[in-house]
A and B are shown apart, each in its own frame.
Chain A
Amino acid sequence: MVTERIISAVLYVLLAPFVIGLLDGFDRKISARMQGRRGPSVLQPFFDLKKLFEKEFLTANKAQLFMIRSYLVFIVLSGVLFFGGFDILLVVFSLSTAAMFLILASTSTHSPYSAQGTHRELVQIMSCEPMELLVAVGFYLAIGTFNVNEIVKTSISPIAFLPGFFVGFVFILTIKFRKSPFDIATSHHAHQEVIKGVTSEMVGKEYGMVTLAEWYENAILLGIVGLFFLNSNPVSIVGAIIAILVVWFLEILIDNTSARVKWQLMLKLAWGVTIVAAGMNLLLLEIIRG
């Protein structure tokens, strides 16, 4: 049992970047095709990452680099906690601690665009955090534990009890993945008012590390999506993978069919959906539990 958990955590550390990088590559290809273009190679994200690490290192403030490294380490740590089957609430807390390092890294430079992006990033975190915490609460209500390791051992997939939580979570995933309509703090294409937002001042390997951290984070988020579908039956793993792919495709589709909204609307929508979808679900579960 323990070995299994260790293996899964180690696999996460080793494989997450490759899996997510590849998904990202397909994302770019599919997006391009949705836009009527041919698009880059599916390995493009890896080329980009590799190049970033090969570029000369410029910096506007040296403090930035160590904060970014700390950000990366914390994200990986959160992932290890998650895939190692520990407490999901702590995973969420650890993720928000990581986010704080990103923010500090970004503001340490005193640059107008990264500052503006950071403020927006903070709003994004604020928009998502209730839902992330609620997901943990949802699992606790449905399964009776915060422990990922025990959640996967349940007999019925949690999604059966948590449809509202799932909807809410998928909704905030758009924010987390930095996809349109919520790509307000950093966008994958730079044509936006804050340029590259949080990452504006991150050069070469710094930017590479942030990208890598994002991949690790996305792996956790998709892992949580999968968690909704897992149960003690091994077949559910297939279901979880399908669910992850569907959600991922949905995010690409939404990305390509919507305009970037303003942060006020994002906050309103995110909180609104959280309260309505997750709140209702929460209330129902509470009632059922008596």
Chain B
Amino acid sequence: MQEIKKDMYLIDKAELLQVIMEKKNALWRLCQICCSFPKAENHYEVTYSFANGYDFANYRLIVEKDEDVPSISRVYKSAIYYENEMHELWGLNVENIKVDLHDKLYRIDVETPFIEKEDK
């Protein structure tokens, strides 16, 4: 784990579940999961944000294009929406989402609109 800026930590996939469990047990609330794909870097950045009272912490995972990320929806139910969204809009594979809507969260015609075809 490495702090890249205030309240923002870089973690790797192995650390993810441990971090999540820690947060859950300490009654932190999941604020959001943000997926982005900076073109210059050519990889996904998945950011998990947590808050507890006024404390705030973000954990960032770097994910390669064809890599999977584990789902945290079994720990945080509300992650279902974020994870389905990541898959539907960004084409990021999330393993084992508790309620997998199979790209029907938003029923859109465009496939993974945030990633251009040739990138994928």
Do chains A and B directly touch (beta carbons under 8 Å) in the complex?
A: no
Binding site for B on A (CB under 8 A): none
Interface set of B (CB-CB < 8 Å, partner A): none
